Structure 1
């Protein structure tokens, strides 16, 4: 058999188009080092994909609990930064969902998030809710987060029966599950986490053009050394949270 055929087999393994028994049969009797190396690559790819599938199924526990009901996962991004809005997302997954590799957005690389987000936006039902810097300073970050979540739910084109929410209670009158570390426990919340983070990161990248010198395009408003250095050199901008330190103290000193 030509090495080209083995390369095709490796590509099929990447796409998970072969079963393990088919793989063993394909390489039966093969002793060449190059072919056996490809076989081991295929096996590792299978094992990696199986771990993703197992993790995905573990994260469906809450969704399976409400089979037959419309379930929305809710998560927010941006409670901790010194600048920018807090963004929430509500997601209702499609019936044939299988976004293997989806996890808490904080545990995914930028490339992984971008790939998963592109798949999600094509197929899921979702809505975004935003609470502004002014609302954060007026009502506090906790209340502003609830406002953003409620706005996302209100903007869904489909009314959910059940809300799976990352560590929050909203008092909507719907069935609500407040799940600690929900973005690592529920696949619906994880999907909301990814979409919300990518959406907010794009907002902050735009702000970086308006307010250069704070490294918003890389820190998304969090208090990194470059951001703090920007505050010292250039001062407070309109998108900084005036009730958050050290900005609060800087404003009081004026």
Structure 2
């Protein structure tokens, strides 16, 4: 008979059910049952992610059918006081098993976002990321600047999509589209765009932090935190701050 330690180690290594687990399931030793329940819980979570992944794919295929090229579009950075708003458009292939677990960027850790960003770039049929500067945001207003950036992202794709799914925005494009409220939680293509936009913007703000370390951009990504507001009071705004946003506008 195998020891509890051996069985626990084997279960930690096992990705799928195997014949030897029949005996493990009825092994009455408390340590074995603890390890067995832990393995089953891990399998349930794995299946849940697969089911959620398929639901997102099925949602996308409601628009244009199974063979349509669906572009997902999303943004990052509409709310901050500094830095660009970043948008991304992504066309994913029909076979996307590598992206199981991909979700709205806000639901993932930084490490998982970065890992998924690399996978999206590796597997996407086409993707494009656009940066809309603080200057353009001030000239256009944040809503119009975001809309124009999304339009640029879609029209810069190397392959023209059959249908465009946009997170809570309607774009001035000639391609059929649908505006999806909370689309990054429903659509795999929009979730992929969300990941690319978020990681690209975070990388940008971390680089900006090196040039302007007194503002703490790497910590708050330009949002109006207490740290950021105190730095603005002390040092004033940079060229990367949005002059049309309060409290900078009043400064």
- TM-score, L = length of structure 1: 0.91
CA distance in 1, matches of 2:25, 2:220: 52
Q: Which residue of 2 aligns with 1:106?
A: 106
Q: Which residue of 2 aligns with 1:4?
A: 6
Alpha-carbon distance change, 185 to 213 in structure 1, aligned in 2, over 3 angstroms: same
Does the 8 Å CA contact 1:131/1:144 hold for their aligned counterparts?
Answer: yes
Contact 1:76-1:196 within 8 A present in 2 as well: yes
Q: Secondary structure of the residue that 1:229 maps to in structure 2?
A: helix
Q: Deviations over 1:193-251 (max 9, x none)?
A: 0111000000001111111111100111110111101101111100000000000000x
SS of alignment partner, residue 248 of structure 1: coil
Q: 1:33 to 1:154 in 2, by over 3 A?
A: same
8 A contact 2:151–2:172 mirrored in 1: no
Separation (CA, whole Å) in 2 of partners of 1:235 and 1:71? 44
Q: Which residue of 2 aligns with 1:163?
A: 164
> Counterpart in 1 of 2:75?
76
Q: 1:80 to 1:6 in 2, by over 3 A?
A: same
Find the partner of 2:46 among 42, 45, 49.
49
Q: 2:221 corresponds to which residue?
A: 220
Q: What's the secondary structure of 1:241's corresponding residue?
A: coil
CA contact (8 A) 1:129 1:150 kept: no
8 A Cα contact 1:82 1:241, kept in partner: yes
Report the number of matched residues: 245
Distance 1:57 1:216 in 2: 37
> Which residue matches 2:131?
130
* Secondary structure of the structure 2 residue equivalent to 1:27: helix
- Number of the residue aligned with 1:63: 60
SS of corresponding position for 1:89: strand
Does the residue aligned with 2:214 lie in a helix, a strand or coil?
coil
Segments of 5+ residues of structure 1 without an aligned counterpart are: none
Task: Identify which range, 87-96 or 191-200, moves more after superposition.
Answer: 87-96
The equivalent residue for 1:94 is: 93
**CA–CA distance in structure 2, aligned partners of residues 87 and 194 of structure 1:** 11
TM-score normalized with structure 2 length? 0.92
Alpha-carbon separation, structure 2, partners of 1:51 and 1:29: 25
Q: Is 2:83–2:205's contact at 8 Å kept on the other side of the alignment? A: yes
Distance 1:172 1:234 in 2: 42
Q: 4+ runs of 1 displaced by more than 6 Å?
A: none
1:74–1:189: 8 Å Cα contact kept in structure 2?
yes
Q: Confirm or deny: 8 A CA contact 1:72 1:93 kept in the other structure.
A: yes
- What is the alpha-carbon root mean square deviation over aligned residues? 1.7
TM-aligned CA distance change 1:38 to 1:241, over 3 Å: same
| Secondary structure in structure 2 of the residue aligned to 1:60 | helix
What is the correspondence of 1:150-189 to structure 2 with a 5 Å cutoff? 150-189=151-190
